[in-house]
Structure 1
């Protein structure tokens, strides 16, 4: 239903369109809410300023894995002699790599648009700004404005790469993951600021695509929150591939411009030195997209970090408003945002699903992959949680020998009650090994459920039987 309302001055009139649900941002949680409620007869609108379907299918998860796979194929060509094939070390056609990625993205966008059309949810393309509680005015890309008010409103605006205030950094116009995935030529020497997920995935990919690469990390280890054996294994992988790893290093100033040449003044171990390259990629964290969207007009509180303040049901501080995904401070994974959708969906119908105590798996898509769920050894020690450690090298998983991919290990933490407290895999297909372990953990089954299962030979999952077969006895 449409209603006419007068502004505060009484001089202008604006048409306010009423909806059951209005979602600001078409990312994972928001789009699934729209697709779930619209077929039930609810009037639903999703406002999106640029990327239909959010960052995952357009500029983040799936595009990056597409380019990473191209880099893996390039590495196979250089290893040709190992497989009885000619060695090919020709330059990579980055324009073709980009074209393959773009074609995938176009297909994903069309899939999302089809889903909006068939679900009955309205997709409104434009820049949305809150102008009153649960009321958003959209500057439409095609011209004009619309004002939408929802009985329920969900904020799903995501996050963006953080560029800090290091002198000269912004002026250097550094790449973020967005621009890096759009390059049509291989950087001669790429400097990556940040040793986390994004930085490591792209560092290895560009090294395999032909760039010299230097990773600069302020902490004293890559992915420094992980266990020492994990960080050591990843660092060894990078150095074996010819990537320079510089840890415990603070960037004090940047000169030049990414693409034309950059020079970093850095402090390391009390001394100062220079790091030079042709391109600069920032991968040092994320900033929530909550600024400039008018939240001050809504009664929605924002944390000092910029995240929308939410409770365990993702309710914001204003009635009828929820926030989901990155902008709500949820772990920055698409699969967590999908669960945020479930939390809000259930809350809308009075069910009790919450975000507390969630099982949050993750996978770092280097080659080989690093995947983990549950407690790490570091976390178990910090909590004072006792555990038994089972650990095997990946070469004990016989499938890896057929692939010539034996680097890495599997390990698991087992509690006194024989339940699995945590699991980590560094090796080929590590991410695919998470699900069976997660099922056992979620069901509260003992580790012996995996140990005694008949697992197909020779598969990577067979390694779970090997791993859980070496769990130390309680004694």
Structure 2
């Protein structure tokens, strides 16, 4: 397969003992968001670029994460509309959900995306090698190909973009239970009878709601007192109420002590809540309790690349590692674990390789959890503002005050914004509501432009749209939390 993907780009080859070292301007390990855009951009500029990818061409986003999950989540939303059919005057008795068809729709999308990526590599002139890469010396990478042969590559610069993997905590019996990660959950061809979800963060909640809407009984287990514990209490309360109304059981402040059985057949999870112990039984177990960096086996010590105490590649604000000429991008570099942040890492690397001084500090990073409705935030939350003793005015309205939601029968949730107490500058916006990510993006643009909140308040926005809610929001009477 690797030979089919070679671009035919000529490289300088030199002999070193009994091995040949192929010289490139840039060697990249991993083909994720930042990596592929660096490769395509620099190759189009005439540089000799090679990318080594172990499995997922284009990285996790088009293959096993962002896009596939949203594909499946949308199918679940369609299923929820069928169940709500009478609300819209549509009879939908007797419908069924075919999980194999749900999976196949996702697979078809992924296949199309992979084909696009392969074509982009071909057109750019960047060479793509499918194989396993590891450092054998400074800026030198040995690649083991699928047939067992090896190639040795050396770059004027080397970029590490190997991403992260779902963490499996050292809980007795957990690994032996062969739990699902998001990868396997998105490949299910049947509806789990009872899905136990470990983790009350983004991945766990998105998939918990989707599987419930497909027809699973779902239990979410989280060690924190509330869901998405880093967000404001009103967000946690809103999500908890949503999930309970949809029939999802929440087991909070729960520490998993041990697991037995096998996911996909029968699995038992023993949890402790305070002084009490509780036994939870299900057919499937999904773990969504964090990520671990893919740095094992990379030979980083041979390259002089240091890692942090959590195993991530140690980088400075320019994304340079501790080794000259070696850079790291995306999740493995400890960047916020979002595709849109990895894309910005590409811009940082691109500019710095060209002699610039682009840094990662001070980035305005948006967050969006694709539950239904969505949770989206840009800038400060109330919790963060309070922790940093930043005074603010709070504008807050229910989503029902946005008239478009009434036409859609999607009135759940709220919008709130923090505005500087001494100026009209927007400090942050949170949306718990339909298309929250789209609403948030408009405010993000205003924040980037340095516009006061009054610019949005006084704008003429189309009626009836969701964005029109920003006029309603910023025309409301603010409060000043104490």
Structure 2 Cα separation of the partners of residues 265 and 436 of structure 1? 45
Asked whether the 8 Å contact 1:388–1:471 carries over to 2, the reply is no
Computed over aligned residues only, the root mean square deviation of the Cα atoms, in angstroms, reads 1.1
Which of the residues 33, 36, 40 maps onto 1:28? 33
Query: What's the offset of the Cα at 1:88?
Result: 3.4
Once the two structures are TM-superposed, the CA of residue 268 in structure 1 deviates from its matched residue by: 0.6
Query: In 2, distance between residues paired with 1:19 and 1:239?
Result: 56
Q: Deviation digits for residues 39-78 of structure 1, max 9, x if unmatched? A: 1000000000000000000000000000000000011111
Structure 1 residue aligned with 2:5: none
Structure-2 residue corresponding to 1:429: 435
Q: 1:3 aligns with which of 3, 14, 37?
A: 14
1:454 maps to: 460
Separation of aligned partners in 1, 2:330 and 2:254: 31
Alignment of 1:75-224 (within 5 A): 75-88=80-93, 90-224=95-229
Q: Which moved more, 1:438-447 or 1:319-328?
A: 438-447
The question of whether the paired residues in 2 share the 8 Å contact of 1:77 and 1:89 is answered with no
> In the aligned structure 2, how far is the partner of 1:470 from the partner of 1:44?
54
1:474 Cα deviation from its structure 2 partner: 8.8
- Aligned counterpart for 2:275 among listed residues 251, 270, 273: 270
Q: Which runs of 5+ in 1 are unaligned?
A: 7-12
| Contact 1:30 1:156 (C-alpha < 8 Å) held by counterparts | yes
The question of whether the paired residues in 2 share the 8 Å contact of 1:190 and 1:213 is answered with yes
Offset of residue 91 of structure 1? 3.4
Tell whether the 8 Å contact from 1:155 to 1:323 is kept in structure 2 after alignment.
yes
Task: Show the counterpart of 1:340.
Answer: 345
Tell me whether 1:366 sits opposite 2:377 in the alignment.
no
Query: CA separation in 2, counterparts of 1:474 and 1:303?
Result: 40
**Contact 1:4-1:16 at 8 Å conserved across structures:** yes
SS of residue matched to 1:108: helix
**In structure 1, how many angstroms separate the alpha carbons of the residues matched to 2:457 and 2:479?**
14
What's the offset of the Cα at 1:296?
A: 1.1
- Structure 1 residue aligned with 2:65: 60
Matched residues in 2 for 1:468 and 1:16: separation? 62
Q: 1:202 to 1:120 in 2, by over 3 A?
A: same
Q: Which residue of 2 aligns with 1:47?
A: 52
1:471 deviates by 4.9
Aligned residues: 469
Aligned to 1:402: 407
Q: 1:142 Cα shift? A: 4.0
1:249 maps to 2:254: yes
Q: State the secondary structure of the residue aligned to 2:168.
A: coil
Question: Are 1:280 and 2:291 matched, yes or no?
Answer: no
- Is 1:68–1:205's contact at 8 Å kept on the other side of the alignment? yes
Matched, 1:311 2:316: yes
Q: Deviations over 1:25-51 (max 9, x none)?
A: 000000000011001000000000000
Q: After superposition, what is the alpha-carbon deviation per residue over 1:305-340, rounded to whole angstroms, capped at 9, x for unaligned?
A: 010000001000000011000000000000000000
Secondary structure at the residue paired with 1:402? helix
Give the drift of 1:435.
1.7
Displacement of 1:449 after TM fit? 1.1
* Preserved CA contact (<8 Å) 2:396 2:478: no
Does the CA contact (< 8 Å) of 2:395 and 2:479 recur in 1? no
Deviation by residue 1:399-424 (Cα, 9 ceiling, x = unmatched): 00000000000000000211000000
Report the Cα offset of residue 472 of structure 1. Answer: 2.9
Deviation at 1:165, TM superposition (A): 0.4
Query: What is the CA-CA distance between 1:468 and the residue it aligns to?
Result: 1.1
**Structure 2 length-normalised TM:** 0.96
User: For each residue in 1:8-33, what CA deviation from the matched residue of structure 2 results, as whole angstroms up to 9, or x when unmatched?
Assistant: xxxxx111000000110000000000
- Cα distance in structure 1, aligned partners of 2:93 and 2:241: 25
Q: Give secondary structure in 2 for the equivalent of 1:433.
A: helix
* Alpha carbons 1:368, 1:426 under 8 Å: kept: yes
Matches of 1:143 and 1:451, distance apart in 2: 63
User: Which TM-score applies when normalising by structure 1?
Assistant: 0.97
Contact 1:197 1:223 in 2 (8 A): yes
**2:355 aligned residue (326, 350, 355):** 350
- Name the structure 2 match of 1:9: none
Larger deviation: 433-442 or 86-95? 86-95
